[in-house]
């Protein structure tokens, strides 16, 4: 079990499961898929010891449906998958967003599209994580880059999901999932285990879609006597379906607005040498580890390079990135795809900053030497 505070060797996927248990997750539904299967295996071992429930479902569609059902029943719930399974979950992820059902979805990325390369790493699901389900919808995506950070971000993922009533996706590549590191998995800090806001007061006055200043409505706990109507249709504050333009606009703007309203508590990022960086490298996951080495070597050579690593990938930490790149003449974006995060960087960068993509799509991680060579070329 997690929480002893002792240092030990832990795999990234196992740290994912242990972080979920430490966060209070007591339900897992999933279907085995490389390279995420170790998450399910570890949850199958750990959940019975904390009176939790593990179910292997018939497929990923059913897995996501079971997670939503468990969460609506009042339990912290999650699933784990990889690219093809993540694709199958998209409709139900949209349902969770529309019904404001707290849940956590782990996607350990592999090469694609389709069956792709099951045992090779990729970062090709960056845009899918944000825009995979149809319609305008709220979602939070966290992108850890170490075994310890996987554990910590799982705890944070459940806190965000419960507090904001939103699906939270934890996205990391196969290398991080299978990485073995010596880490200390300490118990969650006091106050880190956030619970959802439950309805209180007279039952007849409860309005399932009504929210206060925090833009998050209180949830009816099963058995407490409150009426609850759950639907994937657009609905008003009563919880019942509506197509009235005024009510629909108000509902969807609140649904999307709650993410922006809480952005400062959602955003997380890391910078290396941002104060004088003329070249900023923006990267996530295992690629950010290579970028860190490349930036250090570049600075030893006298090249003023820096690193910006979004830990919260969506919503993208735009203002912190622009601060880190305020002196940059160029931003280099190495990623194991054909340029997905680069699109977001291009969108927010001023015209005076050159954005350079360094993509790799052959199932091999990008090396520090490749990134260093690109930094040197930009700086020449």
Please, what is the average pLDDT of the chain?
A: 95
For residue 354, what is the enclosing H or E element?
Answer: strand 354-359
Rounded to whole angstroms, the Cα distance separating 303 from 184 reads 35
pLDDT at 202: 86
pLDDT at 229: 84
Distances (CA, A) of 300 to 231, 278, 303, 305, 364: 58, 15, 7, 10, 27
Asked if the model's pLDDT at residue 179 lies above 90, the reply is yes
Q: Identify the band that residue 235 occupies on the pLDDT scale cut at 50, 70 and 90.
A: very high
State which CATH number among 3.40.309.10, 3.30.1490.20, 3.40.50.300, 3.40.50.970 fits the domain covering 7-184: 3.40.50.970
Distances (CA, A) of 346 to 7, 188, 315, 339, 357: 41, 37, 16, 10, 10
Q: Identify the band that residue 38 occupies on the pLDDT scale cut at 50, 70 and 90.
A: very high
Rounded to whole angstroms, the Cα distance separating 233 from 227 reads 17
- Three-point CA angle 81, 87, 91, nearest 5°: 110
CB-based burial, 240-279: b 16+ in 10 Å, e otherwise = eebeeeebbeebbebbeebbebbeeebbbebbbbbeebeb
Fold of the domain spanning 271-379: Rossmann fold (3.40.50)
pLDDT at 4: 53
pLDDT at 336: 98
Asked if the model's pLDDT at residue 241 lies above 70, the reply is yes
pLDDT at 359: 97
Distances (CA, A) of 68 to 89, 98, 172, 199, 218: 11, 12, 22, 19, 17
Q: At residue 306, what are phi and psi to the nearest 5 degrees?
A: -145, 170
Of the candidates 288, 275, 269, 276, the one whose C-alpha atom is nearest the C-alpha of residue 333 is 288
Q: Identify the band that residue 2 occupies on the pLDDT scale cut at 50, 70 and 90.
A: very low
Distances (CA, A) of 222 to 97, 198, 289, 317: 20, 10, 45, 36
Region 245-263 average pLDDT: 96
State the number of CA atoms in the 13 A half-sphere of 4 facing the CB.
Answer: 6
Would you say how long the chain is, in residues?
A: 380
Distances (CA, A) of 134 to 27, 94, 139, 234: 26, 7, 12, 14
pLDDT at 5: 64
Q: At residue 313, what are phi and psi to the nearest 5 degrees?
A: -80, -40
pLDDT at 203: 79
Task: Give tens-digit pLDDT for 63-115.
Answer: 999 999 999 999 999 999 999 999 999 999 999 999 999 999 999 999 999 99
pLDDT at 139: 96
Region 137-160 average pLDDT: 97
Q: At residue 342, what are phi and psi to the nearest 5 degrees?
A: -60, -35
For residue 81, what is the enclosing H or E element?
Answer: strand 77-81
Region 349-368 average pLDDT: 96
Residues of the chain with CATH 3.40.50.920: 271-379
- Three-point CA angle 130, 132, 135, nearest 5°: 90
Over pLDDT 90: what percentage of the chain? 89
Task: Tell me how far apart the 2 most distant CA atoms of the chain are, in Å.
Answer: 70
Over pLDDT 70: what percentage of the chain? 99
Q: Which bin fits 197, alpha (ψ -120 to 50), beta or left (φ > 0)?
A: beta
pLDDT at 72: 96
Residues of the chain with CATH 3.40.50.970: 7-184
Q: At residue 368, what are phi and psi to the nearest 5 degrees?
A: -60, -35
Task: Give tens-digit pLDDT for 308-341.
Answer: 999 999 999 999 999 999 999 999 999 999 999 9
Q: Identify the band that residue 189 occupies on the pLDDT scale cut at 50, 70 and 90.
A: confident
Structure token digits, residue 181? 């590191």
């Amino acid at each position: 079990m997690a929480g002893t505070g002792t240092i030990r060797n832990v795999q990234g996927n196992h740290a994912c499961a242990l972080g979920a248990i430490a966060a209070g997750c007591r339900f897992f539904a999933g279907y085995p898929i490389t390279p995420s299967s170790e998450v399910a295996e570890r949850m199958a071992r750990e959940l019975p010891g904390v009176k939790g429930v593990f179910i292997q479902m018939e497929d990923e569609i059913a897995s996501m449906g079971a997670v939503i059902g468990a969460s609506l029943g009042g339990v912290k719930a999650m699933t784990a998958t990889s690219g093809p399974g993540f694709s199958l979950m998209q409709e139900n992820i949209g349902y969770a967003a529309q019904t404001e059902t707290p849940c956590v979805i782990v996607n350990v990325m592999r090469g694609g599209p389709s069956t792709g390369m099951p045992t090779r790493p990729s970062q090709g699901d960056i845009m899918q994580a944000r825009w995979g389900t149809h319609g305008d919808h709220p979602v939070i995506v966290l992108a850890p880059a170490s075994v310890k950070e996987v554990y910590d971000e799982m705890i944070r993922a459940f806190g965000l999901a419960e507090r904001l009533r939103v699906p939270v996706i934890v996205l990391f590549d196969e290398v991080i999932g299978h990485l073995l590191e010596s880490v200390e998995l300490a118990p969650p800090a006091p106050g880190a285990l956030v619970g959802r806001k439950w309805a209180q007061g007279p039952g007849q006055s409860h309005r399932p879609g009504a929210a206060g200043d925090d833009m998050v409505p209180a949830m009816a706990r099963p058995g407490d006597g409150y009426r609850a109507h759950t639907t994937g249709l657009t609905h008003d504050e009563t919880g019942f379906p509506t197509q009235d333009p005024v009510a629909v606009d108000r509902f969807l703007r609140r649904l999307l607005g709650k993410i922006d309203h809480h952005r400062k508590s959602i955003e997380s990022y890391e910078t290396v040498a941002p104060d004088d960086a003329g070249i900023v490298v923006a990267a996530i996951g295992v690629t950010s580890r290579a970028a860190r080495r490349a930036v250090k070597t570049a600075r030893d050579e006298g090249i003023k390079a820096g690193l910006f690593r979004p830990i919260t990938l969506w919503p993208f930490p735009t203002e912190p990135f622009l601060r880190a790149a305020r002196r940059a003449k160029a931003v280099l974006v190495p990623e194991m795809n054909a340029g997905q995060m680069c699109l977001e960087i291009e969108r927010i960068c001023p015209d005076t900053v050159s954005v350079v993509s360094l993509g790799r799509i052959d199932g091999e991680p990008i090396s520090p030497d490749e990134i260093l060579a690109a930094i040197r070329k930009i700086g020449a």
